[in-house]
Each structure stands twice: as C-alpha cells, then as structure tokens.
Amino acid sequence: MTTPVPMLDIDGLDAWYGAAQVLFGLSLKVETGEAVALVGRNGAGKSTTMKALIGLISRRAHRLTLRGADISALPTHVIARLGIGYVPEDRRIFSDLTVLENLDLGRRRRAPGNTITDWSLEAVFDLFPHLAELRHRPGGQMSGGEQQMLAVARALVGNPALLLLDEPSEGVAPIVVEQMTLALTRLKASGLSLLVSEQNAQFCAAICDRAYTIEQGAVHWHGPMAALAQGGRSRPAFGPPG
C-alpha cells in the first residue's frame, strides 16, 4: 500500500519567530493517505511547525519535501500551489468577504500528480451542508464553528494533496467537533493526507493513524495513535512519560 515517496518528509527542521528560534531539529513523516496527529502542550511548537511548512516563518531543514519535491526555500504561494492546504489555528477567515467569496479565493486546479477528489463548490457544500445556507453571509458574522468549517472548505477547494489542520476542535461547540470528526474521516477516506495538531486526544484518536508528541520545538515521541491514546490517560496533556 505504501508509496515509495512519502507525502511529507521533514528532517531536522529549525524555525524562527524573528530572532527567536522555536523549532529545533524537528523530524516527522506523513505517508500518502495517512492521517498524522501532532500533539503537545500550548507553546510546544505545533502551530509553528504548520507555519514553517507553509512558509510563513523563516525556517531551515536538512530535508523538507512534499512528494519528493524540496519546499524548504519556496515562497508560501508556491508551496500552496504544490498541494498543501492550510487551515490555521485562528481560522483567519476574511471577515469582509462572504462565504462564497472566501471560497472563490481558495479555488485552484489540482496540482499535477494529485489524483484524489476534485473539490467543487457542490462537493464542499455536501461535506458541510450548513455552509450552503450561509453562502452570502460575511465571514465576520459567523460563529466559531461555522468559520472552522469555512476554513476547511476554503482549503479543500484549492484541491490540496496534504491538509494541515491546526487545532480544528479548539474553541468550537461539541456538536461542531462531532461534525468535524465526521468530515475529516470522509476526507481521509477520499485519499487526502492529513497532518492535525490537537490537544483533544479523543478527536485525534478518531481520525489519526499515528501521532507525534512535540515538546520545546522537537519531536519527543512518536508511534501508533493507539499507543498514545492508552498512555494519554495516565499522562495529562501528553506530558513526558514517567
């Protein structure tokens, strides 16, 4: 089943906010079609990893490839075009633009070599039916959960091969978390690769195959999701083992 080239291959990633280094030699892999959880405390470096991958902060790596192509020195928009969809932590919906306008900006043809579902507007409205009712609502007048759905939808219409989801269950109602779990399960089934940063262990366990825990900007442990879920009950907030 596994393809020879991983979807995402990170080795020795360093990243900076201004002059302050926040990632120290982080390494991880996402295989094609796999869902990987990135877990850790606040400030451990989960969001930073996402931002470094999409090129929003200065970074350096021994190896940083997307389907074998080096993306370590590319500008953000080129990385996005190569097939990374980014759903940021605070959603970053364009609040002056309506749902349709937000989606319109995200639309992009499939990158070459991407054979999974082609996401049309109808397809994302099928995934999040509630969004279809809000299509003319400005982003700024939506609830947190609705914005979260829109952020995922906006990334999907760009037809990514890999979706980066930064804390998709944070600050939204339990019912939305449930819907999001279902949606992500469907996305995974469609063949999309996922990298999900989360603090909610149940949410991760429902979707992800493997997990990495990060601490102070580096990978601390990695293994099957099941192993983490078991250990997670005895270790609050995915802290260091024993």
Q: Give residues in contact with other proteins (CB under 8 A).
A: 16, 18-19, 21, 54-56, 58, 60, 75-77, 80-81, 86, 88, 92, 94-97, 101-102, 104-106, 108, 154-155, 158
What's the min distance (Å) between Cβ of 136 and other proteins?
12
Comparison of 95 and 185: residue with beta carbon closer to other proteins: 95
What's the min distance (Å) between Cβ of 240 and other proteins?
28
Given a contact cutoff of 8 angstroms between Cβ atoms, the answer to whether 103 and 85 are in contact is no
Burial 70-104 (b: 16+ CB within 10 A, else e): ebbebeeeebbebbbbbbbbebebeeeebbeebbe
What's the min distance (Å) between Cβ of 101 and other proteins?
5
What's the min distance (Å) between Cβ of 193 and other proteins?
17
Q: Which of 202, 198, 192, 200 is nearest to 212 (CA)?
A: 198
| Rounded Cα gap, residues 162 and 89, in angstroms | 16
Comparison of 154 and 188: residue with beta carbon closer to other proteins: 154
Comparison of 101 and 215: residue with beta carbon closer to other proteins: 101
Comparison of 76 and 202: residue with beta carbon closer to other proteins: 76
Comparison of 86 and 238: residue with beta carbon closer to other proteins: 86
Amino acid at 102: N
Given a contact cutoff of 8 angstroms between Cβ atoms, the answer to whether 18 and 37 are in contact is no
What's the min distance (Å) between Cβ of 102 and other proteins?
8
Given a contact cutoff of 8 angstroms between Cβ atoms, the answer to whether 193 and 32 are in contact is yes
Read off the DSSP letter of residue 78.
H
| Rounded Cα gap, residues 138 and 101, in angstroms | 9
| Rounded Cα gap, residues 235 and 96, in angstroms | 43
Comparison of 5 and 105: residue with beta carbon closer to other proteins: 105
Instruction: Measure the N-to-C terminal CA separation of the chain; round to a whole number of Å.
Output: 35
Given a contact cutoff of 8 angstroms between Cβ atoms, the answer to whether 234 and 206 are in contact is no
Q: Which of 221, 223, 199 is nearest to 210 (CA)?
A: 223
Comparison of 20 and 189: residue with beta carbon closer to other proteins: 20
